[in-house]
Structure 1
Amino acid sequence: MTDLKQLARDVFPDELVTRFPVRLVDLPYGAGKFALITMDNGQDHTKPTTFGPAGLAELGAALDQVEQLAASGAIVAAGVTGKPFIFAVGADLKGVGVIRNREQALAIGQAGHAAFGRLRSLPVPTFGFYNGAAMGGGVEIGLACTYRTISSAVPAFSLPECFLGLVPGWGGCTLLPNLIGPEKAVSVVIGNALDQNKQLNGVKAYELGIADVLLDPADFLAESLRWAARVVTGEVTVERTDFDRGEGWDKAVAQGRAIADAKVHGASPAPYRALDIIDAARSGDVEAGFALEDEALADLIMGDELRSGLYAFDLVQKRAKRPAGAPDRSLARPVTKVGVVGAGLMASQLALLFARRLEVPVVLTDIDQERVDKGVGYVRDEIDKLLARKRLSPDAANRYKALVSGSLSKEAFADADFVIEAVFEEMSVKQQVFAEVEAVVSAECVLATNTSSLSVTEMASKLAHPERVVGFHFFNPVAVLPLLEVVRAEQTDDASLATAFGVAKQLRKTAVLAQDAPAFVVNRILTRFLGEVLAAVDEGTPIDVADKALEPLGLPMSPMVLLELVGPAIAAHVSETLHTAFPDRFGVSANLERVVSAGKRSFLTWESGAPEVDPEVAALLEVGSSPLTSEQVRERALAALAQEIRLMLDEGVVQAAQDIDLCMITGAAWPFHLGGITPYLDRAGVSEKVTGKRFLDPGVASVPR
């Protein structure tokens, strides 16, 4: 048996220990006494309950009491619930980075199984009352119970382990498919986890069959106890389904492998290990399944992918909330009205976002009434869609519609505090727009540009107050991608920048400070990356060979699919901007220009359902006679990324390498198992080979060697 207290001292000395007080409750209807265990780390909901070794030891002590009560006949049932708003969010992973050997890693898995297993072996029925957010081990402790209730207000419910580089290793891979069937289990363990850690809510978890009953949050605990009493007395019987353990199970696992292949291309072992355990779970041999989970945890805890996943998780949970280099927030000015110059698709998306998040009047302008009407109409149509999907109440929908209006005159911006332009990506056009806006707004109104690559400093240079201008670069689709690059031009003052960061926070975006450099962060990196792939094609490398070269990294999409998403015309424009700034590193692909001139939107066609090289595009290309192998393309692309990132850091484009990674994760959806990009370049040896040093300190996002 693992010595949990010793493990806590060795590996998790800073653990925020969760306590498990036990109290006896009289069940309604004279059903008897109920032993209720409440999981509580003594903090408010901003520090969710987790399980570290010391916490598991506390759970063991609580179960000692419950076992004694059950053995004496003093209770008829037992259950676990959480503190207000939080059930439990799983294992305490803070100590993972200092685990030194596989023996310690194996002990973590065994400790969780040993503790949760005692719930399964109690001689009385057990109940998990999911009162709030439940993730990972929090879900699994509920699965260890005989029955489960869930609140309809639970906002987040998931098994996120494969997203981070682990498997649900305290029962999730073994118990869940036997509870809800392999197909649904694969969707939760693999599909949702690899879909950027998609969360279920309480209603969906109930509909999947994870919980036996859905209850209102107002009196959730009281109603859970009433339902438990009815189960104990036999008034309620819960039927369990016996699933097809042959062909149906095979099909579900195969579907899971297809999802994993599409998402990580074999680059992260975690989802494949999880699928192996789900496959084995069909036997119904729970202990054998738990042993497989222990072994998988031991291997994966000692893997680089988990370190990178935890590094990435820390970035989006902590660094994203405290933007490095941002001015003191007390300098921010209030924003009570927003102006949007332009009424095209991007401008309309921005108007919708500002109206929903800031809940202040938003006015769009454009050059003719038809465009203005189309932009305002887009916003109202999107609000109607949200209403139809019950994402908004009728009152909220009406309120948001009333906030958005259109005008042909920029005089409508006279009382605006924040005006953002989203017009054609041409310097002279943007300078004219800002000059017209400055003529009507107050001296303190912030002027923001959504430019993806142009100089914000040059854009502001002809204004009377250039200090008010900031870059405010969103990523498309605006409602989905979290990143917002906040760009400081040469004369931007702290108050304007602080206001921009304040607005970004209200918009619920991940704001990263960037200095005014060509293409800022994400577009500069992606353009260099795509440039190497296109250069390989220009030299004679077949398109499909170049496109598949980066598959071993497990990127969310191939270079050519990314090019299709960005749009060849936009990619060509950004490459021209960067070629002007850095002609020695950024080329302009003649073949890309041919594709743009021909009006083609992609190098690929999807007619067969899968991406294939478009024969019409292939016929346009003029290529050399020096083809590269996939490995050579990959080596060149990675070397170029390492070089460009080092130069960006030396130039002070961002505060640190962590900001590069945060941008790539939240703006380009680069996977957690890479940690963005710099941890991968470090552990692959590319950083030192190309630049002479690592980007991160040794041991960060990698296994201590």
Structure 2
Amino acid sequence: MSQPAIQRAAIVGSGMLGATIVHLSVTAGMSVVVKVRAAEGAVDRARAALQSSLGREAKAGRLTPAEAQAAPACARFTTDFADLAACDIVLEVIPELPDVKEAAFREIAAVVSRQCVIASSTSAISIAALAACVPAPERVVGMHYFWPAYRRRLVEIAPHSGTSPAALRTAQAFAGAQHIRHIVTRDLPGFLTTRIFAALLSEAIYAAGQGASFDEIDRAMVAYGWQMGPFRLLDTISVDTMAKVYASLRALLGERGAALDVVTQLVAAGQLGRKSGAGFYRYDSDPPVPNPVALGLLPAQPRPAPAPEELAHRITAMLVHEAAHCLAEGVVAGWPDVDVGASEGLAFPPSLGSVSQYVRALGWQNFIDSLRGWEALYGSRFAATWLGRVPEPRA
């Protein structure tokens, strides 16, 4: 069945992520209504932020000057929900707070038609719970983008159990109009990418508990092909953001994510990452140094720590291990979706190929044997309970 044409779309929220989705949309030639908060100067600030990001992309050669100049005309900024009335799809991109998102959903539903698809950018809040807030819950779907959306060209589309086929097709058409890839996931916390990356981050914290320094682990992961080490990344995205995500994932991840309790404790101590001056590192010196508060919270683990390359391999393998758990639970349809999600959404190291290529290079049995060896050393978080339900990735 062909996908519907998107005649009119809206984005509610122009913060850190929302602004990049607006950028993505207008550079794809889409006309979008952008609902910003009703505050003095909010429209001017949102418009200026768009022009600034377009200018940076043009300066870097990723847009032509003509494209950067023409794109802002595709965005209509407003503070009034009523301006969304004629939309085919409205995407909510506001902070990850259930009460705030539910209130926004009610405001949107009050002005749009019952046929208008209402999508949420959340990766941590139940789509079914958001759908229950509005009439015609079958038109609600999750659409989780990645920051910055105009470079991480992927969206996870998460229908809840009652989402209609028509709403799913509209969400897919919206992604197509933005010229980005999509994968369809189950409505479970973290969908695919946030969940598998949380497991990787937790394993990095476990490794630090073995005595490896934050900087040693960060450098090992970059040498392995990752764009940024896990501790610098956590401090950059902000520790409190990860703590909110982990709160929704704790039950699903169990021991595989338990080391992320450290981020919850750091938030309680006011250590929020770079933005507060300290997280896993302290930023009152150059270069940053390990934060003694974070060091004091690390979970005790068997020592000594393995060599850096082995650490990077084990931390990366935890992402693959969690992906196998996701496949066993039907979060996505197969390894190809894992490959797209990890490569496009998480910048899985190109030098390692896709996740499937990485596993095939290791050898399926070797990968399973590694998990069993780590299980013997470190416990149940490495137990391959998905064996027999997850096929070997094929070329």
Corresponding residue for 2:295? Answer: 621
- Structure 1: which amino acid aligns with 2:354? G
Counterpart contact for 1:546–1:630, Cα < 8 Å = no
Question: Which of 167, 187, 192 is the matching residue for 1:516?
Answer: 187
- Structure 2: which amino acid aligns with 1:491? G
Report matched runs for 1:63-102 at 5 Å: none
Query: Secondary structure at the residue paired with 2:247?
Result: helix
CA 1:398–1:483 in structure 2 vs 1: closer, same or farther (change >3 Å)?
closer
Question: Which of 229, 237, 247 is the matching residue for 1:558?
Answer: 229
Q: Give the CA deviation at 1:485.
A: 1.1
For structure 1, which runs of at least 5 residues remain unmatched after alignment?
A: 1-327
Report matched runs for 1:504-543 at 5 Å: 504-538=175-209, 540-543=211-214
Mapped partners of 1:359, 1:642: distance in 2: 36
- Structure 2: which amino acid aligns with 1:592? V
Mapped partners of 1:382, 1:540: distance in 2: 41
Q: Give the CA deviation at 1:438.
A: 0.7
CA 1:580–1:591 in structure 2 vs 1: closer, same or farther (change >3 Å)?
same
Q: Give the CA deviation at 1:525.
A: 0.7
The superposition leaves residues 634-669 of structure 1 with CA deviations (integer Å, 9 ceiling, x where unpaired) of 565355334322221111111101210111111111
Q: In the alignment, is residue 680 of structure 1 matched against residue 354 of structure 2?
A: no
- Structure 1: which amino acid aligns with 2:21? L
Mapped partners of 2:389, 2:11: distance in 1: 42
Counterpart contact for 1:687–1:695, Cα < 8 Å = no
Query: Secondary structure at the residue paired with 1:533?
Result: helix
Question: Which of 63, 77, 92 is the matching residue for 1:406?
Answer: 77
Aligned residues: 367
Question: Which of 266, 272, 280 is the matching residue for 1:603?
Answer: 280
Corresponding residue for 1:310? Answer: none
Counterpart contact for 1:688–1:694, Cα < 8 Å = no
Report matched runs for 1:145-164 at 5 Å: none
Query: Secondary structure at the residue paired with 2:156?
Result: strand
Q: Give the CA deviation at 1:579.
A: 0.4
Corresponding residue for 1:569? Answer: 240
Q: Give the CA deviation at 1:389.
A: 7.1
- Structure 2: which amino acid aligns with 1:598? Q
Mapped partners of 2:255, 2:305: distance in 1: 24
Mapped partners of 2:313, 2:70: distance in 1: 53
Q: Give the CA deviation at 1:530.
A: 0.6
Counterpart contact for 1:453–1:577, Cα < 8 Å = yes
Corresponding residue for 2:349? Answer: 671
Compute the TM-score of the two structures, normalised by the length of structure 2.
Answer: 0.82
Query: Secondary structure at the residue paired with 1:655?
Result: coil
Corresponding residue for 2:160? Answer: 489
Mapped partners of 2:263, 2:85: distance in 1: 43
Mapped partners of 2:317, 2:177: distance in 1: 38
The structure whose Rg is larger is 1
* RMSD (Å), alpha carbons: 3.0
Q: Give the CA deviation at 1:425.
A: 0.2
Q: Give the CA deviation at 1:547.
A: 3.5
Query: Secondary structure at the residue paired with 1:340?
Result: strand
- Residue identity over aligned pairs, in percent, reads 26
Counterpart contact for 1:334–1:417, Cα < 8 Å = no
Counterpart contact for 1:341–1:421, Cα < 8 Å = yes
Counterpart contact for 2:33–2:78, Cα < 8 Å = no
Counterpart contact for 1:354–1:362, Cα < 8 Å = no
Higher relative contact order (CA 8 A, sep 6+): 2
- Structure 1: which amino acid aligns with 2:75? V
Mapped partners of 2:323, 2:313: distance in 1: 15
Q: Give the CA deviation at 1:592.
A: 2.5
Counterpart contact for 2:123–2:144, Cα < 8 Å = yes
The superposition leaves residues 77-100 of structure 1 with CA deviations (integer Å, 9 ceiling, x where unpaired) of xxxxxxxxxxxxxxxxxxxxxxxx
Q: Give the CA deviation at 1:388.
A: 6.6
CA 1:341–1:688 in structure 2 vs 1: closer, same or farther (change >3 Å)?
same
Mapped partners of 2:315, 2:351: distance in 1: 19
- Structure 2: which amino acid aligns with 1:346? L
Question: Which of 459, 464, 467 is the matching residue for 2:135?
Answer: 464
Report matched runs for 1:29-178 at 5 Å: none
Query: Secondary structure at the residue paired with 2:107?
Result: helix
Corresponding residue for 2:150? Answer: 479
